[in-house]
A and B are shown apart, each in its own frame.
Chain A
């Protein structure tokens, strides 16, 4: 009887050994790998704001960005221009190319100021699933050149000495983002921008002059509502005394809301914003339309990637 138990016991031993989880050896063999968090945002831009994403290695992103005219005006609705659809505030065509998975360069051309811009974007930190790095961070810089005729460049001023450098402006941003869940991402964008030439204008309320150097703080979020659709919001506050309570030209903080639709290699954005310009060099300094006064514009954005 005793032997029988022994027999039974050893049989049980063998069978349990046979079903042993060999994979548990893997866990002891090496520590869990840190996976990078992917798709914090879907494209390189949210709406107005840059995202932490860059175009991946050897990929070309062709983008068409379009902003129509004001939906309403201070005078009331404007059915005659189909609520802004007959007008174009700005459009931009751009190409962005990924040198590595984390380094991207691009060129673009906008209608406003005829700005031709060159951009560079470097993602130097990736959020990891184990929170070893809780955020992603990207450095963004651009330089824009306006080739417009001198009379436009200096319009409304008595400035007569032309300098080529007056055509240039620059933006530098650190973009810090966190994907909090599969469907919610948030980022902040401390921004410094510099314009080589500003018109000599003064805010009569506080005697503040327009500055060459300014700081701004942006925020953006993406919230997925279905597998391939998301809601986007972004906002910038520009720190400028000249732009605070200016009775001659009122300035507003650019705010944008939109939806994002992803279909294979394309990403479509449909959005509303009070900014008329598409690149930071313009909209941070020159947003003079207000949401509350009908100054929001319908806009869209199409991104198509090619693998080269």
Chain B
């Protein structure tokens, strides 16, 4: 009986050890990050680039989160940028609470977890899938991503490309310009992350 007791004690230590390990696990934060989107229609192409986002990765748990400022998207045409913010994403709306959930129109969010085990101590490229949720214009949707994690000289490079269905996010497009804006826009993210120092 005494043996089992020791065994139990040992067993209890495993999660504790895991906890300690995850506490020490490296947090990575983006040094550079480019998020772009592209909408292609026969009438016109719409594209924008955001360099202000800072994705954060917890190497211990695989958690990955990013907050993207909507006003950080820079368009080649300034008027497009104004319309994007004022009429479509409504990024100047005041943050509110709907059923106890905070809604912030000024930002888009992604919160996910990398499903594959990645060894962040060894250089290499790993194809990964991410399970998570995306929030745009106050609307949260399940969104799973595919991409690569590249470990290189202590830095972590994240690359992904995915499509978003505009209508899913309560973004109203007036019938007059419905031909100018694609139903699905392509989003790309390339980020270089470095170990986070407090």
A25 at interface, CB cutoff 8 A:
yes
Instruction: Mark the stretch among A31-39, A83-91, A157-165, A195-203 that contacts chain B.
Output: A31-39
Specify the chain A residue showing the minimal Cβ separation from B11.
Answer: A7
Interface residues of B in 58-117 (CB under 8 A from A): 58, 61, 63-67, 69, 71, 76-79, 82-83, 85-87, 92-93, 106, 109, 113
Q: Is B78 a contact partner of A101 (Cβ separation < 8 A)?
A: yes
Interface size class of A (residues with CB under 8 A): 35 or more
Instruction: Mark the stretch among A16-24, A112-120, A247-255 that contacts chain B.
Output: A16-24
CB distance from B74 to the nearest CB of A (A): 11
A-facing mask of B162-198, CB < 8 A → 1, else 0? 0000000000001011001000000000000000100
A14 at interface, CB cutoff 8 A:
yes
Specify the chain B residue showing the minimal Cβ separation from A224.
Answer: B86
A307 at interface, CB cutoff 8 A:
yes
B54 at interface, CB cutoff 8 A:
yes
CB distance from B196 to the nearest CB of A (A): 7
B139 at interface, CB cutoff 8 A:
no
A263 at interface, CB cutoff 8 A:
yes
Q: Is A305 a contact partner of B79 (Cβ separation < 8 A)?
A: yes
A111 at interface, CB cutoff 8 A:
no
Specify the chain B residue showing the minimal Cβ separation from A307.
Answer: B77
A237 at interface, CB cutoff 8 A:
no
Specify the chain A residue showing the minimal Cβ separation from B17.
Answer: A10
B158 at interface, CB cutoff 8 A:
no
Q: Is B12 a contact partner of A10 (Cβ separation < 8 A)?
A: yes
Complex contacts, B93 vs chain A, CB 8 Å = 182
A11 at interface, CB cutoff 8 A:
yes
A29 at interface, CB cutoff 8 A:
yes
A26 at interface, CB cutoff 8 A:
yes
Complex contacts, B79 vs chain A, CB 8 Å = 56, 59, 265, 305, 307
Interchain Cβ contacts under 8 Å between A and B, 6 examples: A18-B61, A18-B113, A22-B65, A25-B27, A29-B54, A56-B79
The chain B residues found within 8 Å of chain A, CB to CB, are 5, 8-9, 11-12, 15-16, 18-19, 22-23, 27, 29, 52, 54, 56-58, 61, 63-67, 69, 71, 76-79, 82-83, 85-87, 92-93, 106, 109, 113, 174, 176-177, 180, 196
The chain A residues found within 8 Å of chain B, CB to CB, are 3-4, 6-7, 10-11, 13-14, 17-23, 25-26, 29, 33, 35-39, 56-57, 59, 101, 129, 182, 227-228, 263-265, 305, 307
3 closest A-B pairs (Cβ-Cβ)? A56-B78, A10-B15, A22-B56
Contacts A10-B16, A264-B83 known; 14 new A-B pairs at CB < 8 A: A3-B5, A7-B11, A7-B15, A11-B15, A14-B15, A18-B63, A18-B113, A23-B56, A25-B29, A35-B69, A38-B71, A56-B78, A264-B176, A265-B79
